[in-house]
Amino acid sequence: MSVSSTASGLPSVLFVCGRNAIRSPMGEALWRKQFGRKADARSCGVIPAAFADGFMLAVMLEEGIDLSDTSPIALRGIADPSPDLVISVSRAADRMAQEYCEETGAAFLAWPIDDPSETSGGREMRLAAYRKTRESIAERIAQWATARKSA
């Protein structure tokens, strides 16, 4: 897949999920962790939540990433410029993310990641699910970086 790139050599990326409360903010932050603070990454949701998820904030703090000032925004609220690459981390967001790509000319990737908020059980079981989500997203980003280097 060919995507344009910014001055950093990386495409500007937009992570999309259903509510912009868990997976897409994780993706945005982990992209910056992988590629540096100058990496152009944003996130949004199809129908944004009122606030970021507390368990997400906790597991990202475990990685030294403070997202406490995160405010969920809507896909249709994304300001210009349009991203080069849109990554949907939620099956429920795929259709709208693809439509957005058709409108803007951005490339599209689907990385279906399970929603950890659907996990039941006590606090530790739920935190484990959020950690698994965090690690799944970080792994996908690392795989993308490796594939990009070998291309």
Q: Residue 2: phi, psi to the nearest 5?
A: -105, 125
The stretches in the chain having pLDDT less than 50 are 1-2
73 vs 105: CA distance, rounded Å: 21
Cβ atoms of 65 and 29 closer than 8 Å: yes
Give the domain range for residue 131.
Answer: 13-143
Is there a domain that residue 96 lies in?
Answer: yes
pLDDT at position 1: 44
Is there a domain that residue 7 lies in?
Answer: no
Q: How many CB atoms lie within 10 A of CB 40?
A: 20
pLDDT at position 2: 47
Model pLDDT for residues 67-78, shown as the tens digit of each residue: 999 999 999 888
Is there a domain that residue 1 lies in?
Answer: no
Give the CATH number of the domain where residue 90 resides.
Answer: 3.40.50.2300
What is the number of structural domains in the chain?
Answer: 1
CA angle 93, 95, 98 (to 5 degrees): 105
